Amino acid sequence: MMVKKEETSKKHLGEGGSNFLISIYRRENQSWQGYIQWLDTGDKIHFRSELELLQLISEAVSMNANEDYKLRSWKEANLIQLAK
């Protein structure tokens, strides 16, 4: 489904969060290639794999997140103790 540019205004995108348009041009070497557009800013960048796509989304979301929001890390995690 094609979306006209005027339909992607802030009022249509909703409150909070980040909005992306992802176009996949091809699948090569068991991976996707295409581009992602961050609709909130209009920035567009090509990606070479699903991993790179996820990294770009993660980076954008963290830039847009509240300062209170923080992703988990292995260094700061409360590790689960397995029963023996």
Start-to-end CA distance of the chain, whole Å, equals 53
User: DSSP code of 50?
Assistant: H
User: In percent, how much of the chain has pLDDT > 90?
Assistant: 39
Q: How far apart are CA 45 and CA 2, in angstroms?
A: 19
Residue 35 has pLDDT above 90, yes or no: yes
Residue 17 has pLDDT above 90, yes or no: no
Residue 11 has pLDDT above 60, yes or no: no
For 64-76, what is the mean pLDDT? 64
| pLDDT at residue 20, as a whole number | 94
| Whole-prediction pTM | 0.60
